[in-house]
């Protein structure tokens, strides 16, 4: 996404402002954010002219700022483009605003979940203590579903209807 101000560089600062119920968004590159005094870091030596040119001339375009990843984590105003919720808000209240938040904050959420739960996979309220009947019921449903596909493939529609009814009964639905 390009900067809303200069329309030349990639936007790295994403701000959402809500005033009187109206939401407005601004996406700025680092230079334009500095011009508007949104970034003011006197210790940001990597972006000062004195240090930028010697590294660029010595390393060329292959020079990578080793602090770039840390800067991205500290960017103010990273927010969901759909609902405006920020990652900082999520860290405060533990709630995401909409389904798009999962995409916007994917890498941060994975890191957060790995750090706090040891994995980024949901394991339920009581992991490892699932009801055996529920597990057996699910395996029976899966077995019947594969049998249903086989019957349909072989055009054995009467048997497929019987299996369909069994699946509906196990899932708690109505049979036809």
Q: What is the pLDDT of residues 27-70, one digit of tens each?
A: 888 888 888 777 655 555 445 444 444 545 455 444 455 544 44
pLDDT at 50: 45
C-beta of residue 37 within 8 angstroms of C-beta of residue 60? no
The first and second tokens of residue 174, run together, are 């109505």
CA-CA distances (angstroms) from residue 50 to 16, 32, 33?
Answer: 33, 20, 20
In the chain, domain spans: 81-123, 132-171
Residues with pLDDT less than 70, the chain: 39-77, 117-118, 120-138, 173-176
| Number of other residues whose CB lies within 10 A of the CB of residue 153 | 9
Question: What residues pair up with 15 in beta bridges, in sequence order?
Answer: 26
CA-CA distances (angstroms) from residue 103 to 13, 94, 107, 134, 159?
Answer: 17, 16, 9, 31, 43
pLDDT at 67: 47
């Amino acid at each position: 996404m390009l900067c809303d101000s200069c329309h030349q560089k990639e936007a790295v600062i994403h701000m959402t402002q809500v005033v009187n119920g109206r939401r407005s968004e601004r996406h700025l590159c680092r230079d334009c954010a500095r011009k508007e005094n949104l970034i003011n870091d006197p210790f940001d030596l990597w972006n000062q002219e004195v240090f930028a040119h010697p590294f660029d001339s010595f390393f060329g375009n292959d020079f990578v700022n080793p602090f770039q990843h840390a800067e991205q984590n500290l960017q103010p105003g990273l927010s969901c483009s759909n609902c405006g919720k920020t990652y900082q808000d999520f860290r405060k209240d533990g709630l995401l605003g909409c389904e798009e938040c999962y995409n916007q904050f994917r890498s941060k959420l994975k890191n957060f979940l790995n750090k706090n739960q040891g994995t980024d996979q949901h394991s339920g309220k009581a992991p490892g203590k699932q009801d055996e009947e529920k597990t057996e019921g699910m395996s029976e449903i899966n077995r019947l579903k594969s049998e249903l596909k086989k019957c349909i493939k072989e055009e054995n529609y009467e048997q497929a209807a019987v299996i369909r009814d069994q699946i509906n009964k196990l899932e708690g639905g109505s049979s036809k």
